[in-house]
């Protein structure tokens, strides 16, 4: 794993932990946002913070999350999605 991948994961976890008012060490790859107590508003705020942190646009519709191409089922899936978006952005 290169450092950029590690730092993306670390930063996404920090943002999610901040929304959940938890320590980053309390957020695992298997955690769901629901497990962490993040509601739909917290999710939207997390997505905005992630977009800002990485200067990307996340294909996520807060009004119809199930229709989004972006997988928010777990922290790991969010990190994977962000890594892909960042990689595409920097081609």
- What domains appear along the chain, each with residue ranges and CATH number? 3-89 (1.10.1200.10)
pLDDT digits (tens, 9 = 90+) for 31-52: 999 999 999 899 999 999 999 9
pLDDT at position 1: 45
Q: For residue 63, what pLDDT band results from cuts at 50, 70 and 90? A: confident
Spatial neighbors of 20 by CB under 8 A, at least 6 apart, are 26, 27, 33, 36, 37, 38, 42
Alpha helices (runs of H) in the chain, residue ranges in sequence order:
3-20, 40-54, 75-89
What is the residue whose two structure tokens read 């777990």? 74
Q: What is the pTM of this model?
A: 0.87
């Amino acid at each position: 794993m290169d450092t950029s991948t590690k730092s993306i994961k670390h930063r996404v976890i920090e943002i999610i932990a901040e929304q959940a008012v938890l320590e980053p060490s309390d957020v695992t790859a298997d955690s769901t946002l629901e497990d962490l107590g993040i509601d739909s508003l917290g999710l939207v705020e997390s997505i905005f913070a992630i977009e800002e942190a990485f200067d990307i646009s996340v294909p996520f519709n807060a009004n119809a999350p199930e229709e989004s191409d972006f997988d928010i089922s777990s922290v790991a899936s969010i990190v994977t999605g962000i890594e892909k978006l960042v990689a595409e952005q920097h081609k």
